[in-house]
Amino acid sequence: MLTLADINGDLIPVVAIIGGCGIGAVAIIGGMLTAVSQRSQVERSRREIAAYIAEGSMTPEEGERLLNAGSPEAKK
């Protein structure tokens, strides 16, 4: 049976480097997926607001206020 005491000293840094790179890759991919998902939700909301305006259940001014609600300029 292989134990940590039997492992050659050169193997531990290699495992640490590979593990660190793996964790970094998972973090980067997770961040990218989060950003893509958030942008997709923003675009879906914009399309829905445009559809409400087109069908006449919302005025263009109300739609503009909704679209600008989360922008930094609207918080001033």
Q: Give the list of residues 6+ apart from residue 49 with CB closer than 8 angstroms, or none.
A: 58, 63, 66, 67
Confidence of residue 72 (pLDDT cuts 50, 70, 90): confident
**Any domain includes 7:** no
Tell me the pTM: 0.64
Is residue 11 assigned to a domain?
no
Residue 45 domain-assigned? yes
Residue 67 belongs to domain spanning = 37-76
Domain count, the chain: 1
* Structural domain includes residue 3: no
Span 13-26, average pLDDT: 93
Give the whole-angstrom CA distance, residue 43 versus residue 53: 15
The confidence score (pLDDT) of residue 76 equals: 59
Q: Cα–Cα distance between 62 and 19 in angstroms, integer? A: 51
- The pLDDT mean for the chain works out to 88
Q: Domain for residue 57, yes or no?
A: yes
Flag whether pLDDT at 75 surpasses 80.
Answer: no
In a domain? residue 2: no
Answer whether residue 4 is part of any domain. Answer: no
